[in-house]
Amino acid sequence: MASENLTASSYIQHHLQNLTFGQHPDGSWGIAHGAEEAAAMGFWAIHLDTMLFSIGLGILFLWLFRKAAKKVSVDTPSGLQNFVELMVEFVDKSVKETFHGKNKVIAPLALTIFVWVFLMNTMDLVPVDFLPHLASLLGVPYFRVVPTTDLNATLGMSISVFALIIYYSIKVKGVSGFVGELTLQPFGKWMIPFNLLLEGVGLLAKPVSLALRLFGNLYAGELIFILIAILPWGIQWALSVPWAIFHILVIVLQAFIFMMLTIVYLSMAHEDH
C-alpha cells in the first residue's frame, strides 16, 4: 500500500527513482537523495539497485543451470532438470529455425538472454512496496527492483548485441564486405551517400529498437502496478491480480522477442552477399 506520508505524485516519483551512486557537484561521492541530485551526478553515476538485481539474477541463472547439470539423471530427472531441458530444447529449436550460419556461440547466447531477461522481468511481479519497504528499514532511500525498467540496463544489453553484430559482420564478410554492404546496397555504387545513410540508419536502429522495446513494455507494466498500489486496499486486489496474470504473458513475450531479434540480427550478420 502507498505510504500515508507521501502524496500520490511523490509516491510514484519515489518508486520510479533508482538508487544512484556518483559524484556530487561539490566533489564528494555518495548516494543521491532525489532526482535532482541524481541528474547532477552526470553520465558516470551508477544505479546500484539495477546492478544488484541484474548481476544477482545472472548469478542465480548460472547457479540453477549448473546445479541441474551436475545432478543430471536419465532414470529419475528432477523438476529442475526437466525445466532446464525444456528451456534448452526450446532455445535450440528457435536457433535452428532462425539462424542460418554456423556458430557455436549463438545457442548459448540465446539461452542466456532468454532466461536472464525473463528473470529480470519477473521481478515486476513482486509487490511494489515489499522490497522498497525492507530497504527503507535499512536506511536505503530508493530501491527499484526491476532491472529492465532501467533504460541503462536495456541499452547495455542491446549495445552488447550490437557489438557482436559488428564483430561477426566483419569476421564473416571482411572489412571490405561489411563496408560494401553499407555503401553499395540497395542502389549500387552511383548512390553511395544515400546507400550509406539508409543502411547506417537501419544498422543503428537495431540496438535502439532492442533497448526501447524491452524498456517501454516493462516500464509501462511497472507504472501500472504503482498506480494500482495508490488505490484503496480492496480495489488493489481486484485490479492487481488480473493485471499480474496478464503481465506474465508480457514478461515471457518480451524475453522471447529480445532473444529472437538477437538471433535474427546475428543471422543477418553471418549472411555474405
Measured in whole angstroms, the distance separating CA 22 from the mean position of its chain's CA atoms is: 23
Cα–Cα distance for residue pair 177/87, rounded to 1 Å:
36
Whether the per-residue pLDDT at 3 is higher than 50: the answer is: no
Per-residue pLDDT tens digits for 140-181: 999 999 999 999 999 999 999 999 999 999 998 888 888 888
Would you call 186 exposed, middle or buried from its count of C-beta atoms within 10 A (0-12, 13-18, 19+)? exposed
- Residues 7-36, mean pLDDT to the nearest whole number: 90
Measure the CA–CA gap between 35 and 167, rounded to whole angstroms: 37
Q: What is the DSSP string of 30-61?
A: EE--SHHHHHHT-TT-EEHHHHHHHHHHHHHH
Contact 258, 109 (CB under 8 A): no
**What confidence tens digit (pLDDT) does each residue in 47-94 have?**
999 999 999 999 999 999 999 998 888 878 888 889 999 999 999 999
Question: What pLDDT is stored for residue 231 in this prediction?
Answer: 87
Selected catalytic residue, list 3, 217, 240, 267: 217
For the question of residue 121 being annotated catalytic, the response is: no
Please check whether residue 121 is in contact with residue 148, taking contact to mean a CB–CB distance below 8 angstroms: yes
- What is the residue extent of each domain of the chain? 48-269
- Backbone φ and ψ for 232, nearest 5 degrees, come out as -55, 155
The pTM for the full model equals: 0.90
Q: Catalytic annotation on 160? A: no
pLDDT at 1 over 60: no
Determine the pLDDT at residue 164: 95
Does the annotation count 209 as an active-site position? yes
46: which strand partners? 21
* Given 103, 136, 160, 213, the catalytic residue: 213
**Candidates 10, 78, 82, 209; catalytic one:** 209
The tens digit of pLDDT for each residue in 8-21 reads 888 999 899 999 99
The grid cell for 11 is 509516491
